[in-house]
Each structure stands twice: as C-alpha cells, then as structure tokens.
Chains A and B, each alone.
Chain A
C-alpha cells in the first residue's frame, strides 16, 4: 500500500505539469490575447507590449522559460491585476471557495447519506418517493436559479439570513445550501441505489439468519458495501465542485477563487489561469488519491501493490 501511495504522489507533479502544458497549448491556440480589447491597438504600442511580456520570442522559448519558473513554483504575476503575483492571488481568494466548497460537500454528504439510506430501508414508502422526487428536483434546477430563490425566500421575505455579505456564520448558510443541493441529490440517489443492492445480497441474508437485529445488520454489515458508490462519486464530484462555486460566488458576491478563475480565462490572463489550473489539478489528484485509499480501507478485496 505504501509504495502505491508513493508512486501516486510522485506522479502528481509531472501530471500537473502536463495539464499545464495542455492548457497553455489551448490558450495559445485560440486566437486573441490579453491585451486585445474592443479597439485595435496601434502597432507600435502592441509591439511594446509584446516585447515587455516576452511575447516576441519564439513559442518554444516562451514555453521553456515559463516551465522553468513553474517548476520552482513561480507562476509569475497576473497580467490583469498588475503587480500581484499569481500565488498571492490564489492564496488570498482560496479560503472563501474552500470554505463553502468543503462545508457544502459535507452538508451534501450528511443529507444525502441519511436520506438515501432511509429511502432504501423504507423502499416504496412515502418517504422514499418524497425524498427521491426532491432529489430529482435538486438535479433539475440550475444552481444559479436555486440560489436567488433561496435568497428571495430566506433573505428577503423571511429575513432569516443576509442576502449577500461575507462575515459570520449566518452569511454562510445560504451559499453552502445552494452549493450542497445538487450534490445532496446525487448522493441521496447513489446511496439509495447502493444500499438497495447491498440489502438484497446474500451476505445480508446470512447476517439476518444469524439472528442479528436490523440495526446491526445495517450498520455493521451493510454500510461498507453501500458506501462504495458514494466514494466513487466523490472523486469526480470534487473536480466539478469548482463549477459549482463559481455560480455561488457570483450570486452571493463572495470573492472566491472560482470567479477569479473564470475572469482570468475571459481576460486571457495566462499566468493566472495556468497557476489556478496547476493548483486545481494537484488538488484533484490528491483528492482522487485519498478516494482510492479509502477504497482500499473499505474493500479488503482491493489491495494495491
């Protein structure tokens, strides 16, 4: 197991660099650049800008220079936000996204696992239908619609939570709930399906035949198998979390990393984009590794060499 972990850890940096390269290629391939706005710049000014940022050098030289910096962890300065280094920007905005992201997913897990398990145990009951329909709704309503609706109901009409502001616990509630909604929906459905399948398996029948009560059967025998689909889901879900936070940040005016990322792409702010992409891919790979390790703990049949 240990060698497996080490191998996976070692491969993260090269993979991240590869992703950065692909991204860089993509950005360069697309026509347009960061300084082209609505108006076309006079050629002299443009030549100056290109010289300043080294854009007049051949592409492989630019690539080489950039990569040698990146390997040392230096992503340079943002092109749009003058004078601020990419690392600085990431450091500043990350906590916001991370907070709502983590809290959102944890909430989604809590709701989804509970609802899914109960729905599976009381299959075809009214709770089952109600919760699964609610889950379906969660999947069908875009989160930028849900967010404002929640704000409307709880922020304006009921005045329970502030509509948009950053500070204190109460301002976290709505954004976290909005983010959690779609994930809770997926997790509830996955848990239910997984649990149903497990509860019908032979070894559960054996457990009952031994005289164990339903609670023990569920908690000791069934959970492990039932959790597996949720764990599989967590990997890609965390990757997609970024898209989720973008909307939530916009709707609730939270200065998070998601928004910064989108802006950087729109602004063709290459260093910032690459920096965030590198950071993200490392995060995703680390999370995937954690997910895979959890698999190994849950399912003894999986043994990593």
Chain B
C-alpha cells in the first residue's frame, strides 16, 4: 500500500517541480523575458534588415551625418560612433552573448559532470586526488588562464587555433559517445546485478571505461595545445583554411569560458554522487522487493540532477558577465562582431555625452541576466523538497 504511494510520488517529481516553478511569479517573469529575448535575437536581425536595411555591421555612406545620434524614430536606440544602428547591433549582439553563454555552460557541464561523477563514484584516494587537482586549478586566478588563452590564440595564431577545432569536436564526440554507452550499459545491467558483488564490480568497470574515454578526449585536446605533435601538425595541415579571426575568437571564447566554470560544477556533481552512492547501496541492501531499480532512477537521479540544473542555469549569467568583462578588456568578441558586453564596453567611453550607447546594451544585458537569475532561483526553490515560501 505504502509502496504504491511512493511510486506515484516518484514519477511526478518533475511535474511537482514544474508546478511549483510556475507558481513562482518571478520565475515565470524570467521565463517569459528569456523566451522573448531568444525569439528577438533569432529573428530580430532579419526583420530589421528587411524593414529598415540596417544590420549590425552596416556603416552607412553618410556616416558623418548619422553617427552618434540619439534615439529617434529612425534609429530606435540611436547610432554608435561609426553610424551603425544600435538596435540592430544589440539584437545581433544578443545572439552572440546568448550563444556564448549557453555553449560555454554546456562545455562546463560536460567537463564538470564527467569529472565530478567519476570522482564521486570512485571515491577514496582517487576522489581525494581529483579534488586536490581542482583546488590547485582553482588557486590560479582564472582570468590569467582565460587571458593567456585568448591572448595567445587570437588573430595571430589562427592556424593553430583552427587545428584545434577538429580536435575539440572529436574529443567531444568521444566524450558524448562514451557517456552514452556507459549510461546505457549501466541502466541495462543494473537491474540484473544490483546488490551482488559482481554487479558492483561491473559498475566500477563501466566507470573506468567511461573515464578512459574522457582521458582519451583530454589527450586529444592536450596534444593540440602543444601543437608540435605529429597529430597536431597533420591536422593543422589538413584544415588550415582562412577562418575569419573574429569567428575563431568566438569559438575560443566558448571553451575558455567553459573551462573556468567547470570547477564548481564538478564539486556540485561530486557531492550529489557521494550522497547518491550512499542511498543507492542502502537501497540495494534493503532491496527485499520494496523498490525496484527503476524507482531508484526515478527518485535518485532527479534528486542528483536538481542541483546540477540549478547551477547550470546560474552559470549562464555568470559566464556572460565574464565575457562582458573580457570584452571590456578588449579580449572578448572582436569587431565587427559584437556582444552585449563589447557594445557596453564601447559605450562606456562616451557615457557622458552619448549615454544611450552604453545604456541600451547594458540594460538589455542586465534584463536578460535578471531573468536568468530569477529562473535559476525559481528552479532552486522548485526542485528543493523543502518549499521556502513561508
């Protein structure tokens, strides 16, 4: 009798959380604004270009006349120093900002989740070692890493960078395939081998397979970093084409930013896996038929995923802020591409005389980050079993 109640509760954990999320007015506000932003930056530039002919990089012939004009009916957000329409640039910048935010978060998710899961599952000395490594990397000021990477690879070393791309894609592919295989095997075999020593052994083997695939991916990456290896040179020769430095910069940003935020993600995941481990074995021991492994998956995994989702949602604005910071330093997105951060950075110069050049991109960015933060908060409240409404 009680068992049925448990099963019902487990299956609708997500639905409960979703309901709770929707009840949170601020979170709903966040979702709406975000949806609006995503739509705006996706189709906006096309609409503007069709309606008015302005694009983000269109420098009009009569630039001297139209530069740095205040907001008007013709230019809803005014123009910048070079006569470009700011509204169009803000929309285009949004594309870049949001893409950078999302993809970088994705990168940090992949690296962080794999690393944290392995550390948490294997436990003991390996876990200790892995966490020490995280601490050490954490000790290095992250800006240093990012700046060195960006500075070293921007523009001048395009060839080296471009040789990265296939490496990275291959590495990611290995990683994703490895994760998928491990998870599928895990699920398939868990039912059969739970609570037996062989089962535990098999699980450990699976995770080692998984970690090897991760390592292989990392080796690929490392080899391209050094660049002098035969693999790197060969791939560079295969793929050296002229890539627009601005675009390669953006790709570089994805990874640089992702690589600095994975540390905390790894810690979060590891913590979750550690507690999940305890519950899992307790349940296996108590598996006198009360719970089946599928309930384990429906109870435990949602609980483990919860903080990961929340943290990922909160990483996006953090990454976007970092990108803005880098743009301010001149290391972020390069001309002619623009991100909200770079637009704001450009606008800072003229704040006293042409404040709109800073205000519009700055406020748009602030609004988006605002919404993301509210959404993250809402998710945290929704997924946390103890409602903190009162």
Nearest Cβ in chain B — how far from A283, in angstroms?
Answer: 11
**What's the Cα separation between A32 and B140 when bound, in Å?**
21
A142 to B143, CA, bound (A): 16
Q: Mark B283-315, 1 if CB is under 8 A from A, else 0.
A: 000000000000000000000000000000000
B151 touching A148 by the CB < 8 A rule?
Answer: no
16 more A-B residue pairs beyond the given contacts A19-B139, A142-B341, A148-B358, with a C-beta to C-beta distance below 8 A: A23-B140, A27-B148, A30-B149, A30-B151, A136-B370, A136-B374, A140-B317, A145-B344, A148-B348, A149-B359, A152-B355, A242-B141, A243-B325, A266-B147, A273-B144, A277-B141
| Residues of chain B lying within 8 A (CB to CB) of residue A247 | 325, 328
Interface flag for A44 (CB, 8 Å): no
Would you mind naming 20 contact pairs between A and B with Cβ atoms under 8 Å apart?
A19-B139, A22-B137, A29-B225, A29-B226, A31-B157, A140-B317, A140-B373, A142-B344, A142-B362, A144-B324, A145-B344, A145-B365, A148-B351, A156-B352, A242-B141, A246-B143, A262-B147, A265-B143, A265-B147, A265-B151
B319 → A minimal CB distance (Å): 12
How far is A144 from B349 in the complex, measured between Cα atoms in Å?
11
* B114 CB contacts on chain A under 8 angstroms: none
- Interface: A231 (CB within 8 A): no
Decide if B366 touches A145 in the complex (CB within 8 Å): yes
Q: Which of A82-100 contact B (CB under 8 A)?
A: none
Check if A15 is an interface residue, CB within 8 A of chain B. Answer: yes
Interface set of A (CB-CB < 8 Å, partner B) = 15, 18-19, 22-23, 26-27, 29-32, 123-124, 136-137, 139-142, 144-145, 148-149, 151-152, 156, 193, 196, 239, 242-243, 246-247, 250-251, 261-262, 265-266, 273, 277, 280-281, 284-285
Cβ of B182 under 8 Å from chain A: no
Main secondary structure, interface of A, reads helix
B140 lies within 8 A of A22 (CB): yes
Interface residues on B, range: 35 or more
| Cα–Cα, bound, A266→B348 (Å) | 22
Chain B interface secondary structure, helix, strand, loop or mixed? helix
If the complex has contacts A144-B324, A262-B329, are A243 and B148 also in contact, measured as CB distance less than 8 A?
A: no
| Inter-chain contact A26/B348, CB cutoff 8 Å | no
Question: Do B227 and A31 touch across chains, with their CB atoms under 8 A apart?
Answer: yes
Using A142-B341, A262-B143 as known contacts, say yes or no to A30 and B148 having CB atoms under 8 A apart. yes
B151 touches A19 (CB 8 A): no
Q: Do residues A141 and B366 form an inter-chain contact, with CB atoms below 8 A? A: yes
Does the CB pair B348–A251 fall under 8 Å? yes
Q: A19-B139, A23-B140, A136-B373 are in contact. Are A142 and B148 (CB under 8 A)?
A: no
In the assembled complex, the Cα of A195 lies from the Cα of B373 at a distance in Å of 21
Chain A residue with Cβ nearest B328: A144
**Nearest CB in chain A: distance from B338 CB, A:** 15
Check if B348 sits within 8 Å of A284, measured CB to CB.
no
Query: Which residues of B lie under 8 Å from residue A19 when comparing CB positions?
Result: 136, 139-140
User: How many angstroms between the C-alpha atoms of A148 and B145 in the bound complex?
Assistant: 27
Given the known interface contacts A29-B226, A30-B149, A247-B325, the answer about A145 and B143 at a Cβ–Cβ threshold of 8 Å is: no
- CB within 8 Å for A18 and B136 given contacts A26-B148, A145-B344: yes
| Contacting residues, chain B, for A281 (C-beta < 8 A) | 139-140
Chain B CB within 10 Å, residue with most, of A29, A148, A242: A148
Residue of B nearest to A148 (CB): B351
Task: List the B side residues contacting A145 at CB < 8 Å.
Answer: 344, 348, 358, 362, 365-366
CB pair A277–B225 under 8 Å, yes or no, is no
A145→B141 CA distance, assembly (Å): 23
Whether the Cβ atoms of B348 and A144 lie closer than 8 Å is yes
Query: Is the C-beta of B156 less than 8 angstroms from some C-beta in chain A?
Result: yes
B374 with A152: CB separation less than 8 A: no
B227: which A residues are within 8 A, CB to CB?
31
For A284, give the chain B residue with the smallest CB separation.
Answer: B139
A123 and B388 CA atoms in complex are apart in Å by: 10
Determine whether the beta carbon of A242 is less than 8 Å from that of B324. no
Residues of B contacting A26 in the complex (Cβ-Cβ under 8 angstroms): 140, 144-145, 148
B98 on interface, CB distance cutoff 8 Å:
no
Contact A15 B139 (CB under 8 A): yes
**Does B55 have its Cβ within 8 Å of any Cβ on chain A?**
no
Residues of B near A284 (CB, < 8 A) are 139
